[in-house]
Amino acid sequence: MNDKKYHHGNLKQCLIEAGIDLLNEEGENHFSLRKVAALCDVSNAAPYSHFKNKEDLLEAMKKYVTEQFSQQLYNAIQGESVEDPNTIVKMGKSYILFFINHPQYFEFLFSRPCIRVNLNMNDDGKSNFPPFELLKELHFKVLSKCGFSDEKIKDMIISSWATVHGLAAIATMEGVIYDESWENKIEAIISNKEKN
């Protein structure tokens, strides 16, 4: 009465999603390829048909989570005007909130080696981190309308990113309790940064 098929059919995606479940339940320390395989009801070595090694699966998982992150940033500014500088604040708050809602993801996403960014923002050597591209594009759209030079905007992007990223880092540290006072704090800090 074993209806288990020899071929899983959708193992690659199953491994990625089961991997993320395991990550959320046990943390990256207790994450193991064999456990993920077991969750998908396949043998220990089965993942090697789809991923080069453990690191390769972890990177696929990071891509998956990064996609969710990008989606949230994108949604945060839907319907907002690029004429309004406050739209940047909206995306910044969304950036921080993503990690407040998924604290485990902060360390996971930003643990090396994964993210490559091109802070010079020229064409050669693009970033492999779409959320940064979203942040970048929005800044150029909004701030060029405000009359800032490209060079100035580049600096402001780094400043903005550092601020929201740093706030996310702090907010997700152990012992930090996120309450309604954070909302105002975040709003104030990002907005202040804005008016340069």
Check binding of 111 to DNA (CB under 7 A). Answer: no
The item of a second copy, DNA, none sharing an interface with residue 107, based on CB under 5 to 8 Å by kind, is a second copy
At its nearest, how many Å lie between DNA and the CB of residue 125? 27
Between the CA atoms of 160, 165, 168 and 170, what dihedral angle is there, to the nearest 10 degrees?
A: -100
Question: Of 12, 114, 187, 191, which lies in the binding site for a second copy, with binding defined by CB under 8 A?
Answer: 114
With CA atoms as reference, report the closest residue to 57 among 24, 112, 15, 111. 15
Residue 127, C-beta contacts closer than 8 angstroms, at least 6 positions apart: 115, 116, 117, 118, 133
- By beta-carbon proximity to DNA, the closer residue of 59 and 80 is 59
Question: Of 2, 7, 174, 195, which lies in the binding site for DNA, with binding defined by CB under 7 A?
Answer: 7
At its nearest, how many Å lie between DNA and the CB of residue 27? 12
Q: How far apart are CA 150 and CA 167, in angstroms?
A: 26
Q: For residue 182, what are its two tokens?
A: 């954070």
SS3 category, 46: helix
Check binding of 176 to a second copy (CB under 8 A). Answer: yes
Residue 103 φ/ψ, nearest 5 degrees: -55, -35
The item of DNA, a second copy, none sharing an interface with residue 50, based on CB under 5 to 8 Å by kind, is DNA
Question: Of 117, 141, 148, 187, which lies in the binding site for a second copy, with binding defined by CB under 8 A?
Answer: 117
Check binding of 99 to a second copy (CB under 8 A). Answer: no
SS3 category, 129: coil
Check binding of 48 to DNA (CB under 7 A). Answer: yes
Residue 174, C-beta contacts closer than 8 angstroms, at least 6 positions apart: none
Question: Of 26, 67, 137, 170, which lies in the binding site for a second copy, with binding defined by CB under 8 A?
Answer: 170
**Residue 196, CB half-sphere, CA atoms under 13 Å: how many?**
15
- Interacting residues with a second copy (CB under 8 A): 107, 110-119, 125, 127, 155, 158-159, 161-167, 169-170, 173-176, 185, 188-189, 192-193, 196
- Interacting residues with DNA (CB under 7 A): 5-9, 11, 31-35, 37, 42-46, 48-50, 53-55
